[in-house]
Amino acid sequence: MFCLWAFTGLGQKTLIPGAAQFHAYLPALKGKQVALVVNHTSVVGKTHLADTLLSLGVSVKKIFAPEHGFRGTADAGAHIDNEVDRKTGLALISLYGKHKKPTAEDLQGIDVVLFDIQDVGARFYTYSSTLHYVLEACAENKVPLTVLDRPNPNGHYVDGPVLEKAQASFVGLNPIPVVHGCTLGELARMINGEGWLVNRAKASLNVIPVANYTHASPVHVAIAPSPNLPNDQSIALYPSLCLFEGTNVSIGRGTDLQFQVVGTNIAGLGDYTFTPVPKPGAMDPPLKDQKCYGYNLSNLRARNLGFSLKYLLYFYSKSGLGEKFFTSPSFFDKLAGTDQLRLAIIAGKSEKDIRDSWEPGLVQYRKMRQNYLLYR
């Protein structure tokens, strides 16, 4: 059986991603010139979607690859060159760096684009930004887009500040919260339906849903979606810990516990120490070769933790650095989607007060989100 997702929990049905439901989209590909937006997670069974479609006679003409590349091994933010896939001979076009959006030339002669990438449900995870730009390019060039949907491992809740327009960037393009509670298929419907594409363009969009999935479903991600999210624990902690990227605190890049440890080079903090060193996917990690003091979160029940400010507030208060704690204030604000979180922390506001400040935006977002859900 073609399936990436399997569960042994009592009463849990097998989740079947859109890519594995060939009956739902193969007929529409007959006689068409196809482009794929895929990476190393685009697998059906043990075979990459590109190889599977080619074996089934689908005319795949080119592959677009997001951040971390087609094979998923590049460092976050690393430049990725266009190249040719050695196995298939297909042209690989990077959708990262200065070329985030397919051009009219890229899409020339293409009849349909298939998008199949595993996301983790956090606004600043850039695969959703790639989706936005692909959707926009398809709208502008009148090329239909089919999203082969996959489950969201953080899809069971919605939390965090809603992005303000002034903070829009590749780590957050749309007015959604940090944890948006959508699969990429649902998010594509939202972006299209709310008119968030340039000039309020609308793409011809089709979504192949995940069979047997609900937003309450526990999701095991069988293939690490990027080099520094190696397991389910790191994926669950990612929304809470990624904000540290704008500070002088390490979240484990350059260790074997990426996004599962948190610490800084101030002696005596926490009860755990680690030292980041160059590793594949993090060749120049923050605080490289420096002993870091903090906490090991790898044994927490992270799925139940949700989006927490606990560690951010703790390290800010213990650092004694005040506003200098934020080594890159502008990047922190882009990750948060607002400058109000950083200013509230500097002002000494409590987590409750901070959460109360973003609740009105969440109420509006949750109401709007209902219009685009494919799963309950």
The model's pLDDT over 33-47, given as tens digits with 9 standing for 90+, comes to 999 999 999 999 999
Q: What is the pTM of this model?
A: 0.93
Predicted confidence (pLDDT) at residue 72 exceeds the cutoff of 50: no
CB-CB neighbours of 322 under 10 Å: 9
| Angle subtended by helix axes 310-319 and 232-241, to nearest 10 | 50
Each residue of 303-359: pLDDT tens digit? 787 999 999 999 999 999 999 999 999 999 999 999 999 999 999 999 999 999 999
- Reply yes or no on whether the pLDDT at 273 is more than 60: yes
Task: Domain ranges for the chain, please list them.
Answer: 18-220, 232-337
- Percentage of the chain beyond pLDDT 90 is 85
Give CA 332 to chain center in angstroms.
Answer: 17
Mean pLDDT of the chain: 92
Asked if the model's pLDDT at residue 4 lies above 60, the reply is no
pLDDT value of residue 195 = 98
Tokens of 20: 């594995």
Per-residue pLDDT of 128-181, as tens digits, reads 999 999 999 999 999 999 999 999 999 999 999 999 999 999 999 999 999 999
Just give the CATH number of 18-220: 3.40.50.12170
Cα 308 to Cα 292: distance, rounded to the nearest angstrom: 21
- Whether the pLDDT of residue 1 is over 50: the answer is no
Reported confidence tier of residue 81, pLDDT bands at 50, 70, 90: low
Supply the pLDDT for residue 90.
87
More confident residue, 364 or 89: 364
Is residue 187 predicted with pLDDT exceeding 90? yes
Q: With 90 as the cut, is the pLDDT of residue 210 above it?
A: yes
Q: What is the pLDDT of residue 71?
A: 56
Q: How far apart are CA 335 and CA 312, in angstroms?
A: 13
Cα(330)–Cα(24) distance, integer angstroms: 44
Q: Which helix (H) or strand (E) holds 62?
A: strand 59-65
Q: What is the distance between the alpha carbons of residues 196 and 133, in angstroms, rounded to a whole number?
A: 11
Q: pLDDT-derived band of residue 82, with 50, 70 and 90 as boundaries?
A: low
CA distances from 313 to 187, 276, 280 (A): 30, 22, 30
Phi-psi region of 90 (alpha: psi -120 to 50; beta: other; left: phi over 0): beta
Percent of the chain at pLDDT > 70 equals 93
pLDDT over 80 at 11, yes or no:
no
d(CA 233, CA 206): 32
- Identify the pLDDT of residue 302: 73
pLDDT in tens, 225-267: 998 999 999 999 999 999 999 999 999 999 999 999 999 999 9
